[in-house]
Structure formats: structure tokens, C-alpha cells
Structure 1
Amino acid sequence: MSINILFAAQADRWTQYEAHLRRALDETGLDYAIDTEMPPEEVDYIVYAPNSDVQDFRPYTRLKAVLNLWAGVEGITGNETLNVPLTRMVDEEGLTQGMVEWVTGHVLRHHLGMDAHIVNPDHAWDKTIPPLASERVVTILGLGALGSAVAGMLRHLGFTLRGWARSQKALDGVACHAGEDGLDAALSGAEIVVLLLPDTSDTRDVINARTLALLAPGAVIVNPGRGPLIDEADLISALDSGQLSHATLDVFRTEPLPQDHPFWAHPKVTVTPHIASETRPPSASRVIAENIRRSEVGEPLLYVVDRDAGY
């Protein structure tokens, strides 16, 4: 019997994904049908974006798994109608590599003080020499697939690295911390902080007045993770006081960022439009197809979400 796969996402995504998904599924050798519309009672798998029209999963009585197209799953974990396995997107070939490149670029920008040379209206001949990477403390909050990959690249460049996660991790070249006490240890004296945590009740507003005060004076925040990780008012206060010298922000509580939001006009804030990393259809399609293949032959699914933990 053919496996029926529903693609549930915004219409433009189907245009981007259809050919790649069909190619990847063809390579599995499975007999399948995939489309954007199917009778719910005939659907075996849903390739899913949380902003799709599918919000009630109860009609999908034959459903085996929901395969999220995004790394973030906070938009679906609380859906009480979903009672089958949910997987998140872990795409080392596309999404992870994109994140590594974006974070590395912005960390190096702030480490080397590039802004002073790129924007220099007074033609100042300032020969201030930046420290070497080994003399710069970079802390990564979140040591999952993305955080670990970013740490690996920054370690290769020689930075002094700290990391923090909810549970204890072990990464070569990274002083890893965990738990509430570990957060303070990871942040104390940090000069650049990279946020790669999921959005959960335990991580919201993790960057606030108290934790910002732990950083080295003039520290930098780089956030390609989730907007709710930061208390925005506290961040602006720290920028205005000089405790922070800059914040590079790719994600926000409301997206697109409203035109009248103070981040746009603040001289110490860089806004990027949620481009740090995007799911790439060719490689993401291979991840989806492999998980469907695994399910059909009785192998465990990859990247299953812990609904209680939220990721």
C-alpha cells in the first residue's frame, strides 16, 4: 500500500520543496504519494510547518509521525491534539552549516572591531590592535546540535570558550556548565555571548538585568536563537549604560520586527531579518525522507522531540 504524505506549510514552501522531496523519497525506494491536500484519514505522515493551516490533528487517524521542517518546535509542542511522535529538523548539511557561518562572521566582526573601520566618517587613524582569539572569552548558551557545531568552529579559531545547557554536556575545548548556578559561571566576565537556546519556559528572559550585569563591561550579545530569550527593556538599558557595547539580533518576539520598534534606531543594535540560518530544501528533504524510511522499516526516528522539555 502506498504511503501517503501530506505537506502542510505555506503555499510558497511547496514550490520550494516539491521537487527535492520527490527526489529524496524516490531514493528511498518507498511507494509513496505526497501532496498538499489529502483526506485526513488517509495520511500517514505530515511534513509540517507550525504556521500551516493544520492545527487539529484528531482527524488524522492513520498518522504515524509529524516531521517538522524547522529546528524550532515551540509552535507545536503545546498542541494537545498531537499524540504521535514529533521530530524536529536537524540538518547538518544545510541549516547547521548556515548557522555556523553566520555566528562565526558576527563573532569575528565584534572580536576584531570591524565596525570602527567600516564606518569611519572622521577618517580616524586608530591603530588599536584587537586581542587574539585566545584572549577573548566567548560564551555559548545552548549546546545542542547548533551550539555544538558553532563551538567547534570557534574552538578551531582559538577562542576561549564556555558553554551552558540545561543538562551537563562535554565538548572538547569548551568549559561546559549546567543548571542555574552554572549559568552564572558561564556568563561571568564573558565578552561575547551567543544565544542558541530553544524557547521554553526555562529559557525565556534568560538575558535580563541580573545576567547582563555578570558580563564583562562592554560585552556583546549575538542572538540567532529565539527572540523571547532576551528581556528587551533590560537589553536596551544595558546598551545605554555601556554595560553592553552592541547587540546583533536576528530573532525577535514579533516578526517582522515592527517599524517603530526601538531596536531599529538604536546605534548599538544590528537587526538582521531572521536569516542566520534557514532550512535548505535539498538537504532538509533528505532528512525528512530518511526519517520516513526509518519509520517504515521499523528503525527509530531521528530527532524526536521531548514534548515535556519543549525540544
Structure 2
Amino acid sequence: MALAIVAPNKTDNELNSWRNIFQELAPEIDLQVYPEIKDKALVEVVVLWQHPKNILKTFPNLKLICSMGSGVDHIMADYIPKGVPITRIVDPRLTFSMTNYVVMGILNFHRQINRYIVNKRLKKWDMTQPEIPISVGVMGVGELGGDVLDKVHGLGIPCFGYGNSPKTSFRHPYYYGPQLQEFLDKINVVVCLLPLTPKTEGFLNDDLFNKFKPGTYLINVARGKHLVEEDLIPAIESGQVSGALLDVFSKEPLPETHPFWSKDEIMVTPHIASITNYRAAAPQIIANYKNAMENRPLINEVSTVQGY
């Protein structure tokens, strides 16, 4: 039986790193890498990242689907064979990198670093309002969002969480579902770390921006499809949104003609807030491969009902 990696957008160097770590940690596994898969009928476990649509239909004997990263929306949006479980990667290093990126964005807004970058280009000496008072709201308070709130709280910055469902106990002030406006009234920095589901796709849109306090700053590090991109620049130009830090986009790489590139108030980074470390991910995939083969419980299994 075989395990197949299907990640066509990964470079040859990246795929070789995955091959090498599997060879080092589990040489007994028959590892095959797309598109060079000898016999799809032998593949019982697939590892996916930005895979070709409907490719899972071509593997008749799947027992397990693994995401190569922490996100699973690329899997949930496609055909999934009935009854086949899905797992994701949970890596403390992913959390470390994501939190540091988000905190960097929050502090850059707080201390107006983007404004000073523009002023340097203009040779403009402007000492007005060097600090913006901030209160931070994190949408999506799973492992990543919870850690962001912990670190922001540790800096002495007021912070609040928001999610789709109520929580009986949470270590920070928390709002859910119909309490959205109450949550937004507390904050002027919005961090999106929501899972991407049919309910959250397009959640960052004109209707939401109109509920913001005027001048609220947006950070999106979840998925590009959370944001209705054509709604953001008008919201900035109206002053409802003061600016944005975006690491994810509906189409990646971001096209050279996209208006985000030329908007000073929007900071663009190339989906690097948190990158999967194959040395951390491979052992989890190998463990779940063995668990699936021996009918043992899986680690980091995803709810196909909730989508995360």
C-alpha cells in the first residue's frame, strides 16, 4: 500500500525535502509524489495542498486524507469520498510564526510604521500622533487565535475574541454569532483567523466594514476568500477602514495588475505569515498513516460537519 503527496504548486526543492524526511523517518512507506504515481489503486493515504480539483475521485481505495498544513478548506471545497477521515497539521512553530506576524501588524498600526515608510519616501518630518490607541479583536479563537489574544493581552493591549458559537469559559472577553456588533464596538483592530467555511466565505465585506468603528484597521491572515477584495478600497477611501495588512488573497500570487499593490494603506505579504515545517508535519502524517492502517484513533482529525 502507498502514501501519495499531491501538491503541484510546491517547488522541486520543497518536494525533495518531503521525500527525504519520509525516507529518513519511515523508509518502509511506499511514498509516491504527484504526478508520478504508479498505481492509484494502491494509494490508501493522500497528502494534499492546492491539489487538482476532483483528483480524489481517482483514488479508489482511500482510507485517509491529510492536509499538508493547518488549513483544510482546499479539501472541504472539493469532492471527498464518503466516510474517509481528514486530518490537519498542528505545529507549535506555526502558532509561533503566526502570532509574531499578527503582533507585528498590530504594533505597526499602533506606532504608525507604514505612515513613516511613506513619509521617508516623501522626506516628510511629521511628529503628529505617533501612537494610535488600540483595542484588538480576533475573529476565530482556535489554537492560533487564542495564542494571538494571549500575547496581545500580555502587551497590555485590550483584546476580545469572536466566534460562531458560544463558549462557557474562555480566558479573554468573548462574543459570538449575534453579538457581532457588540464585539466590533469594542475594537479598532480586526484580526481575521476564522476557518474558511461556506458561512465565513466573503465575511470581510462592505456590510461588515460599515459596522466597524470609523478608522478600524484590518489584518487578514486566514484565507483570501474571507475578503471581498473589491469592497476594501472603497471602505479605505471612505475612512471606515484605515488600512489593512493582507497575507492571503483570492488569487495567488497576487496579479501584478491588482490595485492592492499601489494602495499605500494596504500592506501586502506573499502568504508567509506561517509556513508549514515539513520536519514537524511529516511525523504527524506518518503517525496517522500507521493509525489508519491499524484502525487506531487519528490525531488532529477534522470535523467534516464544522469544516475545521
1:17 aligns with 2:18: yes
Deviation at 1:123, TM superposition (A): 3.9
Q: Which residue of 2 aligns with 1:6?
A: 4
Q: Which residue of 2 aligns with 1:130?
A: 131
Question: Which letter does structure 2 place at the counterpart of 1:18?
Answer: R
1:212 aligns with 2:193: no
2: distance between equivalents of 1:97 and 1:25?
27
Q: Do the aligned partners of 2:67 and 2:75 also contact (CA within 8 Å) in 1?
A: no
Q: Which residue of 2 aligns with 1:150?
A: 148
Distance 1:158 1:290, change over 3 A: farther
Distance 1:183 1:53, change over 3 A: closer
TM-score when scaled to structure 2? 0.87
3-state SS of paired residue (1:57): helix
1:86 aligns with 2:86: yes
2: distance between equivalents of 1:226 and 1:59?
27
Structure 2: stretches of 5+ with no match in the other structure: none
Query: Following TM superposition, where does structure 1 have runs of at least 4 consecutive aligned residues deviating by more than 4 angstroms?
Result: none
- Aligned 1:166-245 pairs, distance under 5 A: 166-169=164-167, 170-172=169-171, 174-179=172-177, 181-245=178-242
Q: Which residue of 2 aligns with 1:269?
A: 266
Q: Which residue of 1 aligns with 2:97?
A: 98
Q: Which residue of 2 aligns with 1:73?
A: 72
3-state SS of paired residue (1:171): coil
Deviation at 1:195, TM superposition (A): 0.7
Q: Which residue of 1 aligns with 2:40?
A: 40
1: distance between equivalents of 2:157 and 2:296?
39
2: distance between equivalents of 1:72 and 1:292?
19
**Equivalent pairs, count:** 298
Question: Which letter does structure 1 place at the counterpart of 2:166?
Answer: Q
1:287 to 275, 284, 287: 284
Instruction: Report the RMSD for the aligned CA atoms in angstroms.
Output: 2.3
Deviation at 1:106, TM superposition (A): 1.0
Deviation at 1:223, TM superposition (A): 0.6
1:249 to 217, 241, 246: 246
Distance 1:47 1:273, change over 3 A: same
Q: Do the aligned partners of 1:189 and 1:215 also contact (CA within 8 Å) in 2?
A: no
Deviation at 1:269, TM superposition (A): 1.0
1: distance between equivalents of 2:87 and 2:260?
34
Q: Which residue of 2 aligns with 1:107?
A: 106
Q: Which moved more, 1:13-22 or 1:267-276?
A: 13-22
2: distance between equivalents of 1:25 and 1:111?
47
Q: Percent identity?
A: 30
Q: Do the aligned partners of 2:202 and 2:226 also contact (CA within 8 Å) in 1?
A: yes
* CA deviation vs aligned residue, 1:100-134 (integer Å, no higher than 9, x gap): 12111111111121223334334425163526xxx
Distance 1:272 1:161, change over 3 A: same
2: distance between equivalents of 1:231 and 1:268?
17
Question: Which letter does structure 2 place at the counterpart of 1:150?
Answer: V
Distance 1:81 1:227, change over 3 A: closer
Distance 1:289 1:56, change over 3 A: closer
Deviation at 1:89, TM superposition (A): 2.2
1: distance between equivalents of 2:77 and 2:146?
26
TM-score when scaled to structure 1? 0.87
Deviation at 1:287, TM superposition (A): 2.2
2: distance between equivalents of 1:53 and 1:23?
31
Deviation at 1:306, TM superposition (A): 2.0
Deviation at 1:35, TM superposition (A): 2.4
Deviation at 1:193, TM superposition (A): 0.6
Distance 1:58 1:232, change over 3 A: closer
